[in-house]
Amino acid sequence: MKHIHPFHVLGNALIDPRGELDRFRDRLRRQQALRRGGDTTNREGRKIFVLCTNDPRPVGGYKVLYRHVDVLNALSIPATILHTSPGFRCSWFANSTAVTDTFSLTPSSNDVVVVPEAPEGDGPGIAQLFPGVPKVVFNQNCYFTFTGYSWDTALPVSPYEHPDVLGAMTVSTDSREYLEIAFPGLQVERIHVSIDPTVFHPGEAKQPRICFMPRKHPEDAAQVFQILRSRGSLRGIEVVAIDGLPEEEVAATLRSSFLFMSFGYPEGLSLPPAEAMACGCVVVGYHGMGGREYFDPAFCHPIEIGDIVGFVAAVEHILEQWRSGPAAVARMGMAASRYVLGTYPVEREKSDIQRAWSKFLS
C-alpha cells in the first residue's frame, strides 16, 4: 500500500487562466491592428466563430467550446474554433474539431462570434474585438461577469448591453437566473453541458484512494488535509491531487478513487465533481453555487463554503463507512453516477444547442 501525505500530485499547474485571457485579448487586438497578408475576411457564407484562448492547460470550459462547435457542424450550421495563434489546438482531449486562427480567417458582419465571459471585466471591450459583427456571450461562470468592476455605476456598461450582442448562453440554472436578473431583456439560453459516458463512467473496483483538484482554493484544501493528517484519519489512504493531466488519465484516476473532494467556488456549473460522480465517486465539498442542481445529499455531501470543520467531519464519516464495508460507499457512488449521466446526456446538450441557435439566427 502506498501512503502519501498530504497528497500525491498527478500532473502540474501550467497557466493562470485570467492572465491568459488578458494576453489572449491583447493578441487579438494587436492582430486586428497589424493584419498580415491582406484581407482575410470570411467570404464563404455565414459561420459561427467560437473564440478560445491559446491555453494548453486542461480546463473543462475549453472542451465545452470545442464540443459546441462539433455539435453545430453536425447540425449543418458551419462553425469553427477561433484561436489567435496559428496551428494551436487543445490537445489534452481527443478531438477533430474545426479550428482556425485570427491570422487565417476573420469574421465578417454576416457571421456570429461566440465570446467567453470576461473575467477581467473589460466592459464593452468584448464587443469592440470585431466591431459590427454580431456576438453571443457563452458565459460558463456568471460570477466572473463583473470582475474588475466596482460599485461605481459610472463605469462602462457591460458588453451584454452592447448592440452587437444577440444574447447569452450559460451552463446552469443558477447562472441563467443570475444573467436574467443582471440584464433584464437579455435573451439567455441554458445549455446542459454533457458528461461523456464513454470517458467518465464507473470502473471495476475502487481503491483506498481520495482525489481532488488543487487549482481551486488550495488554502482550503491545505486546512482540510492537514487536520485529517493530524487526526490520523488518512492512515491507509492514498490522496491524489489531479492537475494538468489529459482527460483519459483524469477519468482513470476518478474511476479508481472512492472519494472526490470539491474545493471549487464560485462555479458556473462545476464539471469536476459531476465527472467524479459519473465515475462512481462519492463527492464531499463545495457545489460552488452552479453545482447545487446536482449536489443531492442522497448520494453526496454538500459543504457550506468555508466550513472546514464540517468538511473534515463529512470526509471522516465517509472514511468510517469505507473501512466498515466499501460496498455501502460504492452503492452511493453508483447512485451518483446514474443521476449525473442521466441528467447530462449528450443528446440533451445537442438539443439545447439546436434550440438556442435557432433563436439566435432567426
DSSP track, 252-315: HHHHHEEEEEE---SBSS-HHHHHHHHTT-EEEE--TBGGGGT--TTTEEE--TT-HHHHHHHH
Q: Which of 31, 60, 65, 63 is nearest to 48 (CA)?
A: 65
3-class state of residue 322 by DSSP: helix
Distance of alpha carbon 258 from the chain centroid: 22
Provide the pLDDT confidence category of residue 41 given band limits of 50, 70 and 90. low
Say if residues 352 and 198 touch (Cβ distance below 8 Å).
Answer: no
pLDDT tens for each residue of 302-346: 999 999 999 999 999 999 999 999 999 999 999 999 999 999 999
Q: Using CB atoms within 10 Å of the CB of residue 225, give its burial: 0 to 12 exposed, 13 to 18 middle, 19+ buried.
A: buried
State how far the Cα of 341 lies from the Cα of 311, in Å rounded to an integer.
Answer: 26
CB 133 within 8 A of CB 107: yes
Handedness of CA 228, 233, 234, 237 (dihedral sign): negative
Indicate the SS3 state at residue 91.
coil
Say yes or no to pLDDT of 355 above 80: yes
Average pLDDT over residues 266-281: 96
* Predicted pLDDT at 18: 47
Q: What is the pLDDT of residues 81-103, one digit of tens each?
A: 999 889 999 999 999 999 999 88
pLDDT at 155 exceeding the cut of 80: no
Residues 6+ apart with CB under 8 A from 127: 135, 159, 162, 164, 165
Per residue in 49-89, pLDDT tens?
Answer: 999 988 899 989 999 999 999 999 999 999 999 998 899 99
Asked whether the beta carbons of 178 and 142 are under 8 A apart, the reply is: yes
Q: State pLDDT tens for residues 188-207.
A: 999 999 999 999 999 988 99
The percentage of residues in the chain with a pLDDT greater than 70, rounded to a whole number, is 84
Calculate the CA 331 to chain-centre distance: 27
Domains in the chain, ordered, with CATH? 17-194+345-360 (3.40.50), 196-343 (3.40.50.2000)
Query: Is the pLDDT reported for residue 167 higher than 70?
Result: yes
pLDDT exceeds 70 at position 4: no
Pull the grid cell for residue 102: 485570427
pTM: 0.87
The phi, psi pair for 50, rounded to 5°, reads -110, 105
Residue 189 to residue 140: CA distance in whole angstroms: 12
Q: Dihedral of CA 297/311/324/282: which sign?
A: positive
